[in-house]
């Protein structure tokens, strides 16, 4: 079931990583809000625009307040999911471009090892890649903490997943 195999750039160690992509099914996890996007100005503007449009179109005289609230939550969840998906695609593209740049600089350095400018460019590219990976890692740690918190009152089930 292997679809693709690729040898990556040696950005963090002396050895090159090998990426293997195989066909399989991903486990769907429950959606949670990414708190980091709440600090982004672009996100705030988009949500404000969407909320004003929503409340202009859906007047509280037409339905109950509870129904309006639930509808607004569902609508905003869709907007947030769409924004997050586009944001993640942009970040992944940026990371892939940085990785390609690093590979190109690595091969260029092998041809001309005495050039110091190439080493400096490699270090800055590596640093930019590290910043992107640190943000992704922080999100993964947060979701892991959330999973441990949610499963804390079900020790048998929680332990069975670990085994």
**What pLDDT digit, counting tens, does each position of 105-130 carry?**
999 999 998 889 999 999 999 999 99
Contact between residue 37 and residue 87 where contact means Cβ atoms under 8 Å apart: yes
**Rg (alpha carbons) of the chain, rounded to whole number:** 22
Instruction: Show me where the domains of the chain are located.
Output: 34-133
- Fill in the DSSP letter of residue 26: P
Query: Is 78 or 32 the better-scoring residue by pLDDT?
Result: 78
For the entire predicted model, the pTM comes to: 0.67
What's the gap between Cα 96 and its chain centre? 13
Give me the pLDDT at residue 23, please: 79
**What pLDDT digit, counting tens, does each position of 18-71 carry?**
888 887 777 777 788 888 899 999 999 999 999 999 999 988 888 888 999 999
- Fill in the DSSP letter of residue 6: E
pLDDT band at residue 73 using 50, 70 and 90 as cut-offs: very high
Q: How confident is the prediction for the chain on average, in pLDDT?
A: 85
């Amino acid at each position: 079931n292997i679809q693709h195999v690729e040898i990556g750039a040696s950005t963090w160690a002396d050895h090159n990583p090998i990426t293997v992509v195989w066909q399989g099914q991903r486990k769907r996890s429950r959606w949670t809000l990414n708190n980091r996007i709440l600090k982004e100005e672009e996100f705030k503007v988009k949500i404000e625009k969407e909320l004003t449009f929503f409340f202009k179109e859906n007047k509280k005289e037409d339905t109950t307040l509870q129904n309006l609230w639930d509808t607004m939550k569902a609508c905003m969840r869709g907007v947030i999911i769409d924004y997050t998906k586009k944001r993640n695609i942009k970040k992944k593209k940026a990371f892939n471009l940085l990785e390609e740049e690093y590979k190109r600089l690595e091969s260029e350095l092998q041809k001309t090892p005495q050039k110091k400018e190439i080493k400096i460019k490699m270090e800055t590219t590596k640093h930019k890649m590290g910043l992107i990976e640190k943000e992704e890692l922080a999100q993964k740690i947060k979701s892991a903490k959330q999973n441990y918190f949610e499963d804390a009152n079900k020790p048998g089930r929680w332990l069975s997943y670990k085994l």
